[in-house]
Structure 1
């Protein structure tokens, strides 16, 4: 009798083991190790508990793995890519057969609105997807998510980033259409639309479609990190920025544990010229980024800190607040090592010092602006490198050294050629704007006014058509503002006034743009508008005790 009972118990145990194996398919540990997943404790620098917003994302993952998966997706929506990957790695350790965890790893290495994924990131994402695609038992919906991001990774060695973004968009559209009640599919489809949007499309067709999708969900799920975050990215343009202001003022409270969430609202504040809000946003972001670098044992500084500093210095300069701008610049000059080394930090290294000297018309310093010593090769970043050459060119032109200016013009033209050869149309156009503007000012100083104006107008038109990169607060100086400056030096103040007005529509409350409009109005005899712009400048510089001569000038005008 005992023998029969033991036999029956053995059968039950065997069946249970088989059932468990069927529920959680075995995945080779060797294959998992080959992904080389980021691992470690999750870093959060918020003063209280970890807060990344709220959402629900149904998957086949179970138990603790399910909860960790949800947290990982929250981080993913706030572009906390490294922390998200570490959390997805936890899910894989807890439940190796959770196919969507590998989807998460691939998404964490995608970062669609930043720089294109590196070869190392593409290899990692591809390996994760290879595992995800072989795991049985996935739902059709899960298959759709995995296949959608696979559309981006497929044939990555031979296909450019933009083409693969378009494929991801098409796949997400299909997933969204097949699962109209799946909020996450809708939200990630909106992100895909933003990633695939053509910067030169001034109808903003994809962004408007994305905005409609997100806004329909925003009232129902106001604390969803992806909804509020992607609304900001969707409307990050002069024509649409006002639509994102409520989301911008909400996002930091939704996900205070994310340094990026603390920074991201400043994109809209910058677009709308709301400098005080931009400053507070980036003070918080930079502080969080410093904490993250220390907690994570990062050698030197984290790239998010430099990103926040770029916006912070820009905002201080637009208030005419040289005291705080110089404090940040002095601190910035102590930084030589940032991780990860990418185009975002290269841009900040070039733009921060260039902005300071150009905004303050420190032409001698601009003419001799050095390349910042950093832990990367400047030759890999031609667009960013061109910013320094452009600052030198403007400095040389304004100090009367046209020979030196022509040397910098040649450097700009060479950078543009390299970017054109790399088929990077956006960055090539950005450098072409600088080259045209620089050449225009050289022609002007040579007395060739008609040629100079024609070329300067072409530079301004190209810049308007190209737009700004979503990572940057703006060009170091708007080309249309430079056109206004040229017209003023040609004593064409009435025409200059119209140009400054057009520039301010794209870059409202810019300190030098407003001052330029004031001087143009005053010199063209339009005292009413001169008074309006002088009051606007005083309002912008209010509470800063600005020592800028422009502020003193408008105050004298108003007293007179």
Structure 2
């Protein structure tokens, strides 16, 4: 069991006041960053003799492992200001400015301003002041930027992976090297570490073992825990990373993204209340961070711009998703609207923008709030995705109100949009918009057919939708807001096929653990088969899973 040290942010403030005040006395107009209480205690000793440079280097490193790269870059810049001839702050800048698994996943251009390349060259220029290990880290990272020697980016990626793999073999007990090795592999795979059957791809297992070797030594390292969560979350055994989920927050408790990250595992293992708590807390600590950071620079000069100023939307999305699974309409709706209201016309087309705009519509649909949905006037429309998802939600509302003709009209619109050549004109999420819209079309078609009494046709439509859903690219929260198996299981029960429904619900629960909607359906399927003992056990599980719900179920969907 890992030892966990829970850092109290107010107390930590006292421990850095002297250094922080001394930094300010050098002139705030010159200072690039402020020491942040609660930014953790992990330290990588570098060969500087300047204590201020060391503490800002450590802060930059911890913030980089927390994926707050602008704050990290600023901290490294301050470390360099304190000791301008030392190479490691420039190595840190190059690391923070370069690609990472999330930037590659989002298809962002590497080092768009060339600042990372400048930084690694400055590190090379000062390499005579580096220790042998520091020099190895600098030369390894330079490979990632060396487009002159290795023009092909994929080959540079492989060369950097090879360099970090070798360093990890040479220094297996070094947590930063283990994390750098993991990141070098994960940036190549871009969240694609497991196949659809849960089998590991390529180098996933050796990388996991490198991280777990560090974890087994009782070392609390933000990068190791963070990357371990991302590496394991899409597997069929997400509980493998529970130790990292339970330990990460204490390493950098003032960084909202770090506080949020355990939820990537909590939602996979069915601990939805913990996921909600972490994401509410992550927004609070980001506000604390903003108060501390004040008007110090946030240099957005690297590859990935995530910072305390823009993280809240992702946290709200997690609250919306986890509360939906719990059957908690009030929390899901509030979070969805808070998230959607952050989207303006300027950032609508950014990755996730359209999903967040449509989230309140889907929450209304999932919870059967038909009157509210029909009374809604969407603030944003005019893209294939938004128009299609609106037709999907509106069609369900018309069906629930008994207006079959209008529901069929929306279904026809949705099908046409899904099949149109411009369906993928704008990137929406990890999964192509056309795939999500086709899935929605099968879902609405199944609902229409079920309302008409054509259960065979409905089962076929829902099954076709599941075939698409199962091929969706992994992301959290998922690109599809409500598992289609909730509808297929219900249709099978209505068709007098409880055995088949049981299989469907159990398959959903294999991935969406402790999901109250499917537990309710599974209970009905077991009861219909007169499996009394199993039904009683599942009912008790459902009651526990549904203890935060504010709606009553009669089926596994509304």
Change (3 A) 1:226 1:332: closer
Change (3 A) 1:224 1:384: farther
Note if 1:228 corresponds to 2:225: yes
Moved more, 306-315 or 217-226: 217-226
- The offset of 1:503, in angstroms, is 0.5
- The offset of 1:287, in angstroms, is 1.3
Kept in 1: contact 2:66–2:255 (CA 8 A): yes
Note if 1:41 corresponds to 2:33: yes
Kept in 2: contact 1:397–1:442 (CA 8 A): no
Note if 1:409 corresponds to 2:425: no
Note if 1:427 corresponds to 2:431: yes
Q: Which runs of 5 or more structure 1 residues have no equivalent in the other structure?
A: 1-37, 555-560
Kept in 1: contact 2:173–2:213 (CA 8 A): no
Please give the TM-score of this superposition, normalised by the length of structure 1: 0.75
Return the match for 1:107 from 77, 95, 117.
95
Change (3 A) 1:454 1:336: closer
Give 1:418's aligned residue: 424
Give 1:483's aligned residue: 488
Give 1:193's aligned residue: 185
**In proportion to residue count, which structure has more helix?**
1
Kept in 1: contact 2:194–2:234 (CA 8 A): no
Q: Distance in 2 between matches of 1:325 and 1:96?
A: 49
Moved more, 221-230 or 442-451: 442-451
Change (3 A) 1:180 1:212: closer
Q: Which runs of 5 or more structure 2 residues have no equivalent in the other structure?
A: 1-29, 299-307
Moved more, 229-238 or 527-536: 527-536
- The offset of 1:59, in angstroms, is 5.3
Kept in 1: contact 2:430–2:474 (CA 8 A): no
Deviations 1:372-421 (A, max 9, x none): 56xxx996xx87887666545655666631221222233334488537x9
Change (3 A) 1:93 1:480: same
Change (3 A) 1:272 1:63: same
Q: Distance in 2 between matches of 1:289 and 1:437?
A: 35
Change (3 A) 1:222 1:182: closer
Note if 1:353 corresponds to 2:342: no
**Residues 282-321 of structure 1: pairs in structure 2 closer than 5 A:** 282-293=279-290, 302-321=309-328
Q: Distance in 2 between matches of 1:292 and 1:415?
A: 45
Return the match for 1:532 from 537, 540, 543.
537
- The offset of 1:104, in angstroms, is 2.0
Give 1:123's aligned residue: 114
- SS of equivalent residue, structure 2 residue 236: coil
- The offset of 1:311, in angstroms, is 1.2
- The offset of 1:191, in angstroms, is 2.5
Return the match for 2:199 from 184, 197, 203.
203
Q: Distance in 2 between matches of 1:53 and 1:389?
A: 51
Kept in 2: contact 1:358–1:391 (CA 8 A): yes
Q: Distance in 2 between matches of 1:161 and 1:289?
A: 35
| Cα root mean square deviation, aligned | 4.2
Kept in 1: contact 2:100–2:183 (CA 8 A): no
Please give the TM-score of this superposition, normalised by the length of structure 2: 0.75
**Residues 21-420 of structure 1: pairs in structure 2 closer than 5 A:** 40-42=32-34, 44=36, 49-58=37-46, 63-109=51-97, 110-114=99-103, 115-118=106-109, 121=112, 123-137=114-128, 141-142=133-134, 144-153=136-145, 168-180=160-172, 182-197=174-189, 198-199=192-193, 201=195, 202-205=198-201, 206-293=203-290, 302-329=309-336, 331-332=338-339, 334-336=341-343, 343=350, 346=353, 349-350=356-357, 352-363=359-370, 391-392=393-394, 395=397, 400=404, 401-414=407-420, 418=424
Q: Distance in 1 between matches of 2:418 and 2:114?
A: 34
For the pair shown, which has the larger CA radius of gyration, 1 or 2? Answer: 1
Kept in 1: contact 2:431–2:479 (CA 8 A): no
Kept in 2: contact 1:359–1:512 (CA 8 A): no
Deviations 1:360-382 (A, max 9, x none): 13356557876556xxx996xx8
Change (3 A) 1:329 1:177: closer
Change (3 A) 1:464 1:159: farther
